[in-house]
Amino acid sequence: MAEHPPRYAVYFIPAADSALYRFGSAVLQYDCYTGHAVRPPREFDSQPEEWREATEEPRRYGFHATLKAPFYLAPSSSEAQLVSAFHSFAAISRAVATVLPVVTLLSDFTAIVPEHPSPTVNALAADCTTIFDAFRAPMSPQERARRLATDLNQSQIENLGRWGYPYLFADFRFHMTLTGKVAASRREQTVSVLRDLFQQFCNGPIAIDRLALTRQDTPASAFRVLSTTPLQGVREDG
């Protein structure tokens, strides 16, 4: 295996021409479809460095919601096989959820979440976790130790051991990250600015109706969309 093989992940990423994606990519100042930088919103002009720093961590992942967390390919798998499985999975008929998105604070970072939890979205994430795990290489001892050093509960530790990621199933929460950790003194202002900006772009429900397979070439590079496809199914009310 190469010293630094690529990592892959399965995400929900809004369509590149959608208002939601224009909002998210502007906030993060990165377009994971093209790999190019994006001009930040003018609302950031008064504190450009503060906003640049606040969005640094999520920027390298692109604007997304995680459905299968980043993983290295197992030695027995190829990228072509993963891409094929990705499209086959998306072609399975399933319910497609519609949710009402809101900007909120999750612990110490900001994100877009559904106003109400969606069992359909949770089921999609669970299916992505289990189906694509066949392509995942075992977690390295270093990565396991790093994860265990965070504050995990028992079910999260069990998820980590079995699936290589702690926040799954009952511990999963669909979210689209907008910032990294925000200092307590800046949280109220940060959420207020992002909520006001979000309302300029999005004022209604969104359908979780597509998947993106993304790739990170090296640990220092950002994730980019490798393939994207709509989900087949019947849309339901959120």
String of DSSP letters for the chain: --SS--EEEEEE---TTSHHHHHHHHHHTEETTTTEE-PPPGGGTTSHHHHHHHTHHHHTT-S-EEEEEEEEBPTT--HHHHHHHHHHHHTS-EEE-EE-EEEEEETTEEEEEESS--HHHHHHHHHHHHHGGGGBPPPPHHHHHHHHTS---HHHHHHHHHHS-SS-GGG----EE--S---GGGHHHHHHHHHHHHHHH--S-EE--EEEEEEESSTTSPPEEEEEEEPPEEE---
Residue-level pLDDT at 73: 98
Q: Which residues, other chains included, contact 185 with Cβ-Cβ below 8 Å and sequence gap of 6+?
A: none
CA distance 234 to 120: 12
- Domain presence at residue 161: no
Domain with 11 in it: 7-138+173-235
Per-residue pLDDT of the chain (238 residues; tens, 9 = 90+): 457 899 999 999 999 999 999 999 999 999 999 999 999 999 999 999 999 999 999 999 999 999 999 999 999 999 999 999 999 999 999 999 999 999 999 999 999 999 999 999 999 999 999 999 999 999 999 999 999 988 899 999 999 999 999 999 999 999 999 999 999 999 999 999 999 999 999 989 999 999 999 999 999 999 999 999 999 987 776 5
CA distance 90 to 69: 17
CA distance 110 to 108: 7
Residue-level pLDDT at 203: 85
CATH of residue 226: 3.90.1140.10
- Note the pLDDT tens digit of each residue in 1-12: 457 899 999 999
Residue-level pLDDT at 238: 57
Count: domains in the chain: 1
* Sign of the CA dihedral running 32, 186, 200, 11: positive
Residue-level pLDDT at 234: 79
Exposure b/e, 214-226, CB count within 10 A at least 16 = b: bbbeeeeebbbbb
- Domain presence at residue 55: yes
- Domain presence at residue 168: no
Q: What is the pTM of this model?
A: 0.95
- Domain presence at residue 2: no
Residue-level pLDDT at 1: 45
CA distance 149 to 166: 12
- Domain presence at residue 95: yes
CA distance 61 to 57: 8
- Domain presence at residue 216: yes
Tokens read off for 43: 């609302």
Strand order in the sheet with 210-216: 101-106, 109-114, 176-177, 65-72, 7-12, 210-216, 224-230
Q: How remote is the C-alpha of 165 from its chain's centroid? A: 13
- Note the pLDDT tens digit of each residue in 66-110: 999 999 999 999 999 999 999 999 999 999 999 999 999 999 999
- Domain presence at residue 157: no
- Domain presence at residue 227: yes
Residue-level pLDDT at 2: 52
